[in-house]
Amino acid sequence: MIGGDRYETRRVLVIDDNEAIHQDFAKILGGSSGPDGGLAEVEAALFGDEPTMKPLGTFEMDSAFQGRDGFRMARVAREEGRPYALAFVDVRMPPGWDGITTIEHLWSEDPTLQVVICTAYSDYGWDETLQRLGSPQNLLILKKPFDSAEALQLAYALSEKWRLELLIQKKIDELDRAVASQAEKLSEQRRELQTAHSQLLQSQKLEAIGQLAAGIAHEINTPVQFVADNLLFLQDAFGGLTNLITAHQRLLGASRAGPAPAEALADVDSVVAGMDLEFLMSEAPQAIEQAGDGVQRISKIVRSLKNFSHPGGEALRLSDLNEAIESTITVAGSEWKYVAEVVARYDPNLPLVSCVLGEFNQVILNMVVNAAHAIKDVVGDSGEKGTITVTTRADGQWVEITIQDTGAGIPPDVRAKIFDPFFTTKEVGRGTGQGLAIAHSVVVSSHHGKIDVESEVGHGTVFTIRLPIEQDSALAG
């Protein structure tokens, strides 16, 4: 078992062209169960007890008399899952590979193999050896003739080093797998949270549209009504004009045959008198203009509603924030028009901003509705109106949007909680406590921006939103 029990058998490969060397290693590695085996036996003889020092394991030795043979044996051992822990390699082994070439091939097959170079000559200097073999971390040199105890200690130390390195690598691999598995779980949880976040935003958007539906219907119904009234007026006027044209055609036909008959002339006079032509000429142009205005108002509301409610995907894209804010203010008209005047001060040179437009629209809606509710708490049903001021401006690599209201203001003890999920000071049924929490999440988490609040009780509140023009620059900064 690789990297397993500390006292397991370690496999050792001896590669040397001298058979006597193999016999010596067989005695050294097979004659003792550990470097302290002799001491343990003495201890047992003197005190009559079992040895207190456990052996570090035994060795299983294989022999190869040429470098190529040793390389093939190392390859087979690795393929069988019983690799060698240590190889003792002679430097001179004519007529085949020398020791350095043999080690190069051994490490190409098994980089973890510990190697001891056995030599009585200076065929290669240490620098040349390192230049050929690279790092010396798995390499030692044993000069011939060597001491048996020294060879045995090297065998134990290097085979234990091999075992520990494999055990450490095994633990590292296990940790890597655990980290990768945990990372995948976290990634999946992140995807689930992103999906839930998107669903929450879309759900609140649909909820907002549902709540605004009655007001939007009223906003559309008013221009529809006067468009319809003007069209009815123009329809009646067109009927009169049709009668007048018909009477003139009869008069024209009779005149071609001779003098105009009095009856045809009287018919024309009668139609003109019944039409009130002067009134028609005065009012018809105004009716057409008013109908056109009404259609434009309806078109603006529908276009704003479409811009606001369209999901638009979750991808970042360059967007005109001035247009987005104007559309959202129009959609929310039923929330503020009876309690406030909206003053919009747009920077005409505001650059396009990289954002998820649907999420940005939701933030502005939440802010405007909150401002309207704050003003409503002040003016009540008095008929008076407060002011909501929306401002945009560019500031270097950022754009800044402020929403200011003349409401009651936010008490200091409440201000720190306003972005907490489900926190609200409104009465039941008027707020979910999610509006500002979602706004904070969209601005800060999704768009790497900032949102701040300044408020003074009795004077109103100012929310300031800062968004990076490019999301890449926000991540870099």
- Taking only the tens place, the pLDDT of each residue in 112-162 is 999 999 887 666 676 777 778 876 788 888 888 888 889 999 999 999 999
Would you say residue 198 lies in a domain?
no
Q: What is the pLDDT of residue 227?
A: 78
The pLDDT of residue 359 is 85
Range of the domain at 38: 10-146
Whether 184 is in a domain gets the answer no
Q: What domain count does the chain have?
A: 2
Tell whether 20 is covered by a domain: yes
Instruction: Look at residues 146, 164, 197 and tell me which one is the last residue of a structural domain.
Output: 146
Regarding beta strands 340-345 and 386-395, do their DSSP bridges make them parallel or antiparallel, or are they unpaired? Answer: parallel
- CA–CA dist 117, 125 (Å, integer): 12
Residue 165 lies in a domain: no
Asked if residue 271 belongs to a domain, the reply is no
- Please identify, among 146, 180, 205, the residue that sits at the C-terminal boundary of a domain: 146
- The CATH number of residue 444's host domain is 3.30.565.10
For residues 321 and 28, what is the distance between their CA atoms, to the nearest angstrom?
84
Question: Confidence band (pLDDT; 50, 70, 90) for 54?
Answer: very low
What is the CATH number for 19? 3.40.50.2300
Q: What is the mean pLDDT of residues 332-357?
A: 92
Region for residue 433 given its phi and psi (left: phi exceeds 0; alpha: psi -120 to 50; beta: otherwise) = left
Share of the chain above pLDDT 70, in %: 75
Tokens found for residue 61: 């030795």
Which of these three, 90, 119, 146, is where a domain ends? 146
- Does residue 67 lie in a domain region? yes
pTM tops 0.85: no
Integer distance in angstroms from the first to the last C-alpha of the chain?
52
The CA distance from 209 to 232, in Å, is 32
C-alpha separations of 328 from 92, 310, 347, 417 in Å:
87, 12, 17, 26
Residue 271, pLDDT score: 66
Quick one: tokens of 14? 């001896």
Q: Are 109 and 71 spatial neighbours (Cβ–Cβ below 8 Å)?
A: yes
In a domain, 190, yes or no: no
**Which has more pLDDT, 68 or 203?**
68
Q: Is residue 245 part of a domain?
A: no
Q: Nearest CA to 409 among 371, 460, 375, 374?
A: 460
> What DSSP line would sit under 10-63, residue for residue?
EEEEEE-S-HHHHHHHHHHHHS-SSTTHHHHHHHHHHH-S--SSPP---EEEEE
Q: Does the pLDDT at position 33 exceed 80?
A: no
Whole-number Å distance between alpha carbons of 462 and 388: 10
